[in-house]
Structure 1
């Protein structure tokens, strides 16, 4: 019977290389104050023994925990998971965050927090005490919640706000929501549309207003009317359905609609079909998010692709650089998305 191999620890590496535990830890963490010959010696022992560094070993070199905490909205996340409708925000968060953390020897911890909970600070304090993260990533609507940001500031924990333009000493990152909405609007204008409606998102999210602003800016630049062409939803399918019914029932209905997320866009597509309107013949449609599901409905939707993975990856990298005292770029950092063209946009049948 084969003997189970003993787990290799930092102590084995230190003994094999004839150095202290602290020296091994400094080599693991790629710190500058290690002589090249010492680094080679320790690395040779690591390679020979097949040692895989642990977070505990990394912590020995100082006060860092080598953990990045990412916080998402509990209520909306659980609702999305239970619906099983192909919304992949969390998947993309984990993809970008975990891969970038791994590059630097960090770990990403994902937690859900209810932004409407009166006990949010107490809950967050408990999480921070247990994990002692080196940095925190906040996603909307947490990004602009003062109960959260004030607590992190008071505890001197660096944080990155995604979907926020807030000034201050911490990191803010956007996906260029206003530019992307303007891009979608101009794409429809280039296709000959003049009556372009917009279904805005939940007011609780700052990016909802930015997207509306981008639509307004592009429409005004083209000298096109906007009165009676905007309705507000809350990112849910039901709210998109209600907004679409209102817009399509008006005299001089729009020939194109931009919806501020995929759920509201899919609802608009369903309403149009129910009313006997052909998409894109009678109504062109553009969505935000570009989650997997929009590729599989009929017609597949043209959509603004949000670079969630790249944005969270950027947040991780900036938090680690901040921890190391490296220079920060001007804020907010913009990780801009793109327009993915599919089959839901065409020139209007009546271009007059």
Structure 2
């Protein structure tokens, strides 16, 4: 390549590694030759020589395809700004080789850092291994202080507090709550925010109005059925995700319960689903893509931040109204 471009081998190396001290004319000639012969530098080989691999890995698992896509899009878009490649690795909690798979990714691809999405962000096995190897990582939506690594998050507790406060302001006092998958820290945080809002308003906390879900449509339906079968059913149900809330809507429609005339329903995320269901969901807008981009940014351009919070937004639509007289 150096012969074709009529430059030294050191100049070619500097262009490949995006280093300084190369004239624009020589850089242009090397890049043209690289494109002409289809040359792609070996990222692993560069890493083995002690340089950066210009790759970061995303460890991500979530049953909601929209959520996974938004995280991947946010990381990928931020990486593109720095001409860095994103590698996505599934996080399978049930796999007996989970840690071995992540170690294999590190050993083979030599990423410059990792973004850990929930629930990997709270997995002590993964965190301990990365800290042992001194590999930079950022935790996305962590649930606790499992590490001093930088993190990016929204205030899930405050977001749920704001949503329940909205229902209380409408006049609801019997408010059901469907919790998300218990392995995600955000589920407990959202439940805590809901209960705090009830207590702050002087409403007695009755755990009969709390049901466990899995962040999916089916558990939203079953949770709603259990709540609506109570002797004094709730006049509103707050769900920990939009998928759960869609299940609540389906259960209400099946029973002939008018939403929001007889039952108010809220979700969490503001996924596209929130505007497709009928009626359109009142929900919390969680800026997933922005959070993921910020996490990648803390890896690519560290600012010394230990925690970066991204604002949530309460989105009022047609699924909430004052309770029937």
3-state secondary structure, aligned to 1:266: helix
Aligned to 2:158: 179
Maintained 8 Å contact 1:195/1:225: no
Alpha-carbon shift at residue 168 of structure 1 (Å): 3.1
The residue that corresponds to 2:118 in the other structure is: 140
Aligned to 1:70: 58
**Which of 130, 135, 139 is 1:161 aligned to?**
139
C-alpha separation in 1, matches of 2:39 and 2:165: 51
Whether the aligned pair in 2 keeps the contact of 1:197 and 1:226 (CA below 8 Å) is no
| Aligned partner (choices 258, 262, 285) of residue 282 of structure 1 | 262
Change (3 A) 1:338 1:13: farther
SS of the equivalent of 1:160 reads: strand
1:46–1:22 Cα change, 3 Å: closer
Q: Structure 2 residue aligned with 1:296, among 276, 281, 292?
A: 276
Query: Which segment drifts farther, 101-110 or 166-175?
Result: 166-175
- Kept in 2: contact 1:303–1:341 (CA 8 A): yes
Q: CA separation in 2, counterparts of 1:13 and 1:99?
A: 34
Q: Deviations over 1:110-148 (max 9, x none)?
A: 111312222222222211111111111111111111121
Q: Deviation of residue 287 (structure 1)?
A: 0.4
Partner SS, residue 252 of structure 1: coil
Q: Are 1:251 and 2:231 matched, yes or no?
A: yes
Structure 1 segments unaligned to the other structure (5+ residues)? 1-8, 81-86
Q: Is the 8 A contact 1:290 1:303 kept in 2?
A: yes
Q: Alignment length, in residue pairs?
A: 319
Equivalent residues of 2:243, 2:273 under 8 A apart: no
Select which of 84, 101, 113 maps to 1:123. Answer: 101
Q: Does 1:24 align with 2:3?
A: no
Give, in angstroms, the shift of residue 218 of structure 1: 1.5
Assess if the C-alpha contact under 8 Å between 1:162 and 1:173 holds in 2.
yes
Describe the shift of the 1:53–1:168 C-alpha distance in structure 2 as closer, same or farther (beyond 3 A).
Answer: farther
Sort the Cα spacing of 1:100 and 1:12 in 2 relative to 1 into closer, same or farther, 3 A: farther
* SS of residue paired to 1:111: strand
Give RMSD over aligned pairs.
Answer: 2.7
1:150 and 2:148 aligned: no
Q: Distance in 2 between matches of 1:238 and 1:23?
A: 55
